[in-house]
């Protein structure tokens, strides 16, 4: 199906990417780079997580649209992707989706949608790259309905020596990896933003460089009490 409507609620302000043309090289090689992981584990992780989406869905940093074919029982998906090069690739996946998809240029930190307007927010492999994860998670919580769900798949900071190595490598890695930070404690950021973890699983996927391990899968709901303000740095 894949009905396409290009919407950008904040106009130019949403294009939080390093240049007007975006990361063209990264966009061009992204699916090929991921192909080695999609077959053995990433594809099934995506399918299992996204199967839990329902109602109106907002996908943050949808990239080339790798999740789109996995949506099933949803009303519509708004695929938000601020990088024009990635959005160009995403548009090619739309005819293969089985659900209505609208494409937006919104960035995670400034979503521009009304409060409580989505039943599910999906963020896969994106909280490592956003400029301000706390602001992004605050926005995700704002646009989620009180009984909504946040679905996250991410590589996160390890422990001990690995974490220290990730800290050292991050300045270089983010330059070559389109802003990717291997050392983010995303699970803690989700809790700090005012979510209650319903499910969390840490895992070490096969044949993935140790620098971007472990991974975490998170299903979370907005806390009624709001964000843990005392923890926000
Ligand atoms: C590693 S790719 C992941 C793409 C896709 N979510 C996936 O699972 O394959 C990271 C994506 O995050 C997007 N991104 C970077 N900064 C962002 C921001 N501030 N808001 C929303 N998306 C952002 C990038 O443009 C890129 O498409």
Please write the tens of the pLDDT for every residue from 17-26: 445 677 888 8
What is the rounded CA–CA span in Å between residue 168 and residue 161?
Answer: 11
Q: What is the pLDDT of residue 184?
A: 98
- Which residues, in sequence order, are CB contacts of 73 under 8 Å at separation 6+? 53, 54
Distance 67 CA to ligand 1 centre (A): 12
Mean pLDDT over 40-56 rounds to: 98
| Portion of the chain with pLDDT greater than 70, in percent | 88
Of the residues 19, 126, 182, which should be mutated to test ligand 1's pocket, given the most ligand atoms within 8 Å of the CB? 126
Residue 25 phi, psi dihedral angles, 5° rounding: -65, -45
49 lines ligand 1 (CB under 6 A): no
Distance 13 CA to ligand 1 centre (A): 16
Q: Is the pLDDT of residue 221 over 70?
A: yes
Protein residue with least CA distance to atom 3, ligand 1: 125
At 133, list the tokens. Answer: 């994860």
At 86, list the tokens. Answer: 């990635």
Q: Is the pLDDT of residue 206 over 90?
A: yes
151 lines ligand 1 (CB under 6 A): no
At what angle are helices 84-93 and 24-37 packed, to 10 degrees? 50
CA–CA distance from 224 to each of 88, 146, 194, 196, 228 (Å)?
38, 7, 8, 9, 11
Distance 63 CA to ligand 1 centre (A): 5
| Portion of the chain with pLDDT greater than 90, in percent | 79
Residue 8 or 130, more confident: 130
Q: What is the pLDDT of residue 10?
A: 33
Mean model confidence pLDDT for the chain: 90
Residue 33 or 217, more confident: 217
230 band by pLDDT with thresholds 50, 70 and 90 = low
In the chain, alpha helices (H): 24-37, 43-50, 84-93, 133-143, 160-176, 186-192
Burial label for 94, CB within 10 Å (0-12, 13-18, 19+), is: middle
Distance 42 CA to ligand 1 centre (A): 16
Q: What is the pLDDT of residue 14?
A: 37
Q: What is the pLDDT of residue 20?
A: 67
What atom of ligand 1 comes closest to residue 61's alpha carbon? 22
15 lines ligand 1 (CB under 6 A): no
Pairing mode, if any, of strands 101-104 and 6-7?
parallel
Q: Is the pLDDT of residue 13 over 50?
A: no
Q: What is the pLDDT of residue 229?
A: 60
pTM of the model: 0.90
16 lines ligand 1 (CB under 6 A): yes
Protein residue with least CA distance to atom 16, ligand 1: 130
Distance 126 CA to ligand 1 centre (A): 4
Domain 6-225 listed as CATH 3.40.50.720: no
Protein residue with least CA distance to atom 26, ligand 1: 63
224 band by pLDDT with thresholds 50, 70 and 90 = confident
130 lines ligand 1 (CB under 6 A): yes
pLDDT tens per residue across span 76-121 = 999 999 999 999 999 988 888 889 999 999 999 999 999 999 999 9
Of the residues 63, 151, 179, which should be mutated to test ligand 1's pocket, given the most ligand atoms within 8 Å of the CB? 63
pLDDT tens per residue across span 165-183 = 999 999 999 998 889 999 9
Q: Do 82 and 14 meet the contact criterion of CB atoms below 8 Å apart?
A: yes
Q: Is the pLDDT of residue 15 over 80?
A: no
């Amino acid at each position: 199906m894949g009905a396409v409507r290009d919407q950008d609620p904040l106009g130019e302000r949403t294009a939080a990417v390093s240049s007007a043309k975006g990361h063209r090289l990264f966009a061009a090689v992204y699916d090929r780079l991921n192909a080695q992981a999609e077959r053995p584990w990433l594809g099934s992780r995506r399918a299992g997580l996204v199967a839990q989406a329902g109602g109106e869905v907002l996908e943050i940093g949808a990239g080339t649209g790798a999740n789109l074919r996995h949506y099933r029982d949803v009303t519509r998906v708004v695929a938000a992707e601020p990088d024009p090069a990635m959005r160009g690739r995403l548009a090619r996946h739309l005819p293969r989706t089985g659900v209505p998809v609208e494409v937006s240029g919104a960035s995670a930190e400034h979503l521009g949608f009304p409060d409580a307007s989505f039943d599910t927010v999906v963020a896969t492999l994106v909280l490592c790259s956003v400029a301000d994860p706390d602001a992004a998670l605050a926005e995700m919580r704002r646009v989620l309905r009180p009984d909504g769900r946040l679905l996250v798949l991410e590589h996160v900071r390890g422990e001990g020596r690995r974490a220290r190595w990730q800290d050292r490598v991050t300045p270089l890695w983010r330059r070559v990896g389109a802003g990717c930070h291997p050392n983010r404690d995303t699970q803690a950021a989700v809790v700090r933003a005012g979510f209650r973890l319903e499910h969390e699983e840490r895992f070490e996927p096969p044949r993935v460089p140790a620098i971007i391990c472990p991974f975490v899968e998170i299903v979370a709901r907005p806390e009624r009490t709001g964000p843990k303000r005392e923890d926000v740095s």
